[in-house]
């Protein structure tokens, strides 16, 4: 599992749950031989790693090691090959079962996985997924939706490190540029005639660029010449921005200039089946080949998807759309999927493609069940090593946490997939879908404008109840430190006006403080206030305009004094911007006309901070007609 965004409350809970677990463990030095390991082989291939006395303690650098791989019949597939090895992941570094990245000195294809050889491979622990198969199922979906050019290939294996049994892992291809993987041109000293693999990630670190609210990282090689590398990053940043803004406009012809639409349709279908909580946070990949368009692939990192998460309202249920794929107001929201689903023409293409692929999609549950049955003994032995069954591992639903066998986990996943695909099939053929009405897990229309209603709600440091439907909180007030009620992962834009409102009921002995604050770092306050209580139900409403843009904000409420406080109908809605103010400076001037004209002419430095403010025709697209009406409106106002 790659990096995850975790709320303040979740991080605290995780820290407590693993505080007794070391960040790494020192393995014995080849306690048993590979021959002895093979002698106890069950049903899966075996990967045996000898660290040559080195400790694998970090993901920052590799250490030398050797690997021996045997197929499911015990035959040696790779014999004592030199490798480099390091840890992989971020949150999973704190889990006792580690994930690894291994690198061969020359290209290898262990167990004939995928389409060919490569140097880099992953051993994914899947610690937070007791089915151990959600990533595998998601990548199988990627294989079925073949308008995405590449889907990661892998298979379950049993892993030993220095003779110490580590359980079942997913041996899977790394995402990189390779003729057998992301097959794009790799010419590190070229700019426009180069291929680019990019990842949308809140944790982007190297060769980073930002488009609107999201960070991207160039994952393919860039030039060793710093000046050329800067040009390369600028080029793909500009192209990505033009592609996203074309999608925002809703103009199919404009979108087709920049985006490989069939790949986006397939990507949307596969991600919607998975209901991934991280769809807009991390591990969302795109590529652009030299002379080609932005293409959406491959799928990556789905251990907390497919019903295995309760982070936000409705994400665990097989019914309803994934909130992060239909509203762009949350830190986890995927803008590409959110803007695409708003387009009538895109929904039509999606339904046509769904009908083409439905029969194949309905085989995924059988794929899961068959994999579990064929390797039952190995999967069961994993849980002899890691005693996790029948209890909560992370923040999965109670129904999953209660399952006491791997077979039950596999059946749960298979049933979830069947129900999910059946619900989507009904929805994609409904009038609601045709008309762009987006439904939640209760088959009710989603209020995509209410940011708080579409964000995770939780309590931290105090007992209380969360009402995700209202949305709201109920808890006892207390003096001193009493804890917090939280809505997390909100996105706020500078110069955008918002209206906050809620109803609250509390005795005179209580008071309610609230604030918007950064959900990381020093948790600095952005704006806040307090209300007084008189025992009756009251309504609070206020407008505010943040002076910073922040994509990971928490709304915090504190209940002071004594007595029970109930907060209902929490609402945070962005108010309509000043019409014509496409540069979002708070006023409509000739500068906005100039900026829209430059954008329509595809001038390289043209940028619309708020494209919707220029939508004078109210047709969710920008064209010369909007520009004409904008000029006319400006003349009238002057």
Beta-carbon neighbour count of residue 637 at 10 Å? 10
- The pLDDT value recorded for residue 94 is 85
What's the helix, strand, coil split of the chain in %, to 5? 30, 25, 45
CA 371 to chain centre: 26
Mean pLDDT of 24-43: 76
Q: What pLDDT, in 10s, does the model give residues 276-332?
A: 988 899 999 999 999 999 999 999 999 999 999 998 889 999 999 999 999 988 888
- The pLDDT value recorded for residue 600 is 87
Phi, psi of 150 (to 5 degrees): -140, 135
Q: Is the CA virtual torsion 303, 346, 339, 594 positive or negative?
A: positive
Q: What pLDDT, in 10s, does the model give residues 437-482?
A: 999 999 999 998 999 988 899 999 888 999 999 999 999 999 877 7
Taking Cα atoms as reference points, which of 168, 530, 549, 567 lies closest to residue 371?
A: 168
Is residue 113 within 8 Å of residue 154, measured between CB atoms? yes
**Residue 305: its H or E element:** none
CATH level 3 topology of 452-574: Jelly Rolls (2.60.120)
**What six digits make up the tokens of 566?**
């109930």
**What six digits make up the tokens of 362?**
């309905």
Q: Predicted confidence band at 631 (pLDDT cuts at 50, 70, 90)?
A: confident
Which runs of E-coded beta strand occur in 537-635?
Answer: 537-544, 550-561, 564-574
- In this model, does residue 14 exceed pLDDT 60? no
Q: Predicted confidence band at 89 (pLDDT cuts at 50, 70, 90)?
A: confident
Q: What pLDDT, in 10s, does the model give residues 583-626?
A: 876 678 898 888 888 888 888 778 787 777 888 887 767 888 88
Q: Which residues pair with 221 in a beta bridge?
A: none
pLDDT, the chain, mean: 91
Beta-carbon neighbour count of residue 356 at 10 Å? 11
Burial track 35-73 (b if 16+ CB lie within 10 A, e otherwise): eebbeebeebbbbbbbbeeeebbebeebbebbbbbbbbe
CA 484, CA 163: separation in Å to the nearest integer? 47
Q: Predicted confidence band at 629 (pLDDT cuts at 50, 70, 90)?
A: confident
Which of 509-523, 540-554, 616-630 bottoms out in mean pLDDT, i.e. has the lowest? 616-630
Taking Cα atoms as reference points, which of 174, 187, 352 lies closest to residue 261?
A: 352
Contact residues for 244 (Cβ-Cβ < 8 A; gap 6+): 211, 212, 335, 336, 339
Q: How many residues does the chain have?
A: 638
Is residue 575 within 8 Å of residue 511, measured between CB atoms? no
Mean pLDDT of 553-576: 94
Is residue 46 within 8 Å of residue 381, measured between CB atoms? no
Q: Predicted confidence band at 493 (pLDDT cuts at 50, 70, 90)?
A: confident
Q: Is the CA virtual torsion 515, 519, 520, 526 positive or negative?
A: negative
Report the percentage of the chain scoring pLDDT > 70. 94
C-alpha dist (Å) from residue 361 to 37, 341, 366, 418, 421: 38, 20, 10, 9, 8
**Residue 275: its H or E element:** none
Report the percentage of the chain scoring pLDDT > 90. 74
Q: What pLDDT, in 10s, does the model give residues 411-431?
A: 999 999 999 999 999 999 999
Map tokens 């930002």 to a residue.
210
The boundaries of every CATH 2.60.120.260 domain in the chain are 452-574
Burial class (CB in 10 A: 0-12, 13-18, 19+), 471: buried
Q: Predicted confidence band at 17 (pLDDT cuts at 50, 70, 90)?
A: very low
Q: Predicted confidence band at 31 (pLDDT cuts at 50, 70, 90)?
A: low
Q: Predicted confidence band at 13 (pLDDT cuts at 50, 70, 90)?
A: very low
Mean pLDDT of 179-191: 94
Which runs of E-coded beta strand occur in 437-509?
Answer: 457-460, 464-467, 472-476, 484-492, 498-505
């Amino acid at each position: 599992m790659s990096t995850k965004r975790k709320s303040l409350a979740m991080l605290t809970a995780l820290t407590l749950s693993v505080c007794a677990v070391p960040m790494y463990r020192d393995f014995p030095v080849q306690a048993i031989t590979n021959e002895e390991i093979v002698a106890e082989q069950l049903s899966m291939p075996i990967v045996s790693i000898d660290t040559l006395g080195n400790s694998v303690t970090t993901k920052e650098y590799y250490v030398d090691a050797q690997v021996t791989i045997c197929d499911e019949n015990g035959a040696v597939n790779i014999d004592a090959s030199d490798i480099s090895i390091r840890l992989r992941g971020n949150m999973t570094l704190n889990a006792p079962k580690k994930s690894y990245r291994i690198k061969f000195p020359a290209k290898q294809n262990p167990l004939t996985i995928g389409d060919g050889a490569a140097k880099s491979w992953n051993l994914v622990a899947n610690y937070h997924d007791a089915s151990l198969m959600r990533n595998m199922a998601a990548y199988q979906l990627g294989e079925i939706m073949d308008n995405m050019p590449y889907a990661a290939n892998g298979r379950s294996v049993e892993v030993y490190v220095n003779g110490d049994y580590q359980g079942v892992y997913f041996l899977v291809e790394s995402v990189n540029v390779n003729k057998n993987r992301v097959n794009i041109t790799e010419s590190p000293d070229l700019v426009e005639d180069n291929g680019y693999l990019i990842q949308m990630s809140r944790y982007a670190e190297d060769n980073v660029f930002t488009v609107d609210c999201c960070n991207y990282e160039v994952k393919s090689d860039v030039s060793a010449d710093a000046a050329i590398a800067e040009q390369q990053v600028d080029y793909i940043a500009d192209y990505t921005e033009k592609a996203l803004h074309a999608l925002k406009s809703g103009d199919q012809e404009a979108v087709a200039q920049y985006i490989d639409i069939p790949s986006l349709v397939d990507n949307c279908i596969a991600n919607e089946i998975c209901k991934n909580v991280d769809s807009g946070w991390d591990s969302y990949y795109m590529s652009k080949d030299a002379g080609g368009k932005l293409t959406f692939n491959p799928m990556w990192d789905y251990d907390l998807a497919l019903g295995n998460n309760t982070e936000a309202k409705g994400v665990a249920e097989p019914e309803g759309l994934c909130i992060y794929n239909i509203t762009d107001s949350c830190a986890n929201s995927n803008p590409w999927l959110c803007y695409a689903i708003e387009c009538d023409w895109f929904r039509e293409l999606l339904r046509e493609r769904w009908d083409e692929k439905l029969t194949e999609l309905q085989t995924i549950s059988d794929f899961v069940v068959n994999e579990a049955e064929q390797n039952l003994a190995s999967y069961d032995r994993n849980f002899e090593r890691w005693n996790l069954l029948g209890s909560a591992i992370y923040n999965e639903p109670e129904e999953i946490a209660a399952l006491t066998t791997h077979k039950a986990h596999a059946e749960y996943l298979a049933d979830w997939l069947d129900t999910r695909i059946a619900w989507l099939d009904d929805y994609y053929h409904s009038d609601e879908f045709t008309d762009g009405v987006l439904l939640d897990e209760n088959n009710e229309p989603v209020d995509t404008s209410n940011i708080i209603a579409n964000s995770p709600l939780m309590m931290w440091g105090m007992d209380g109840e969360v009402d995700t439907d209202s949305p709201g909180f109920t808890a006892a007030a207390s003096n001193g430190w009493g804890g917090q009620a939280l809505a997390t992962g909100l996105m706020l834009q500078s110069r955008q006006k918002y209206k906050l409102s809620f109803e609250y009921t509390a005795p005179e002995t209580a008071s309610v403080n609230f604030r918007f604050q950064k959900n990381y770092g020093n948790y600095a306050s952005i704006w806040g206030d307090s209300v007084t209580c008189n025992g009756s139900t009251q309504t609070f409403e206020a407008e505010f305009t943040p002076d910073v843009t922040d994509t990971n904000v928490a709304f915090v409420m504190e209940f002071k004094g004594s007595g029970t406080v109930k907060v209902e109908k929490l609402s945070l809605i962005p108010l309509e911007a000043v019409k014509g103010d496409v540069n979002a400076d708070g006023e409509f001037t000739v500068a906005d006309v100039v900026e829209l004209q430059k954008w329509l002419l595809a001038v390289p430095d043209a940028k619309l901070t708020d494209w919707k403010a220029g939508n004078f025709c109210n047709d969710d697209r920008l064209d010369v007609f909007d520009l004409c009406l904008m000029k006319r409106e400006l003349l009238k106002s002057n």
